[in-house]
Each structure stands twice: as C-alpha cells, then as structure tokens.
Amino acid sequence: MPKITILPLEWVIEATDGATIMDAAHEHGLYWPTTCGGEGICTSCACTIDEGATNLEPIGRGELKTLSEELGEAAVLARHLRLACQARVHGDVTVTKRGVRPTEASLPTPE
C-alpha cells in the first residue's frame, strides 16, 4: 500500500492504491481543510508535493484549471501544488499541508 507522509504533522498513513490524498487522510481520522467537500472547485485542500510527485496520477484539466485560476499556472507548477481531493496516489508521497489534524473521534480516550 502506498504511504503518505503529511508534514508538518509528521504523520505517515497508508492509502489504498488510487485513493485521493484527502480520502486517505479521512480514513485515518484526520481533518483535511476543504470548503467544497472534495468537489475540486476550491483550493483550500491544496498541498505541496515534496516527494513522490511521479507516484500521483497526472494533474487533470479540471484540477489545473481550479488551481491556475486561483494561484496562476506558473505558481502551481513551480510550487508542485495539487488538490488533495483530486490527487490519486499510486506510490509513496510526502506532502505539506498546514491545518491537517486528528479529529476528535480519532484521538485516544483518556483512561
């Protein structure tokens, strides 16, 4: 199974091959910032791909359009930005996204 390292949280999670970064995070009880709920029409889930960009499906036209309209195509490509709700993993990747955190339900209960 592909592994996703999420910085600065420094969590490593496993993902089903072909899952989106955001779906994999949700499956592990992590909150991932989004305003459109994973529709790919906002940029609040955008993350920087630090390592393993070739282990993601290529960026689609819709994803590139959304990112480019908000940030400009040159900035998107130079900063290796992807929408976590659209980027599907097929191998290990390292991403940076501030605001990712464990949800209340995923925290251990006190004894």
- The CATH number covering residue 97 comes to 3.10.20.30
Q: Please write the tens of the pLDDT for every residue from 68-105.
A: 998 888 888 778 999 999 999 999 999 999 999 998 76
- Write out the residue range of the structural domain in which residue 45 sits: 3-103
Question: Has residue 109 been placed in a domain?
Answer: no
**Rounded to two decimals, what is the model's pTM?**
0.89
Strand partners, 12: 5
What is the count of structural domains for the chain?
A: 1
In a domain, 9, yes or no: yes
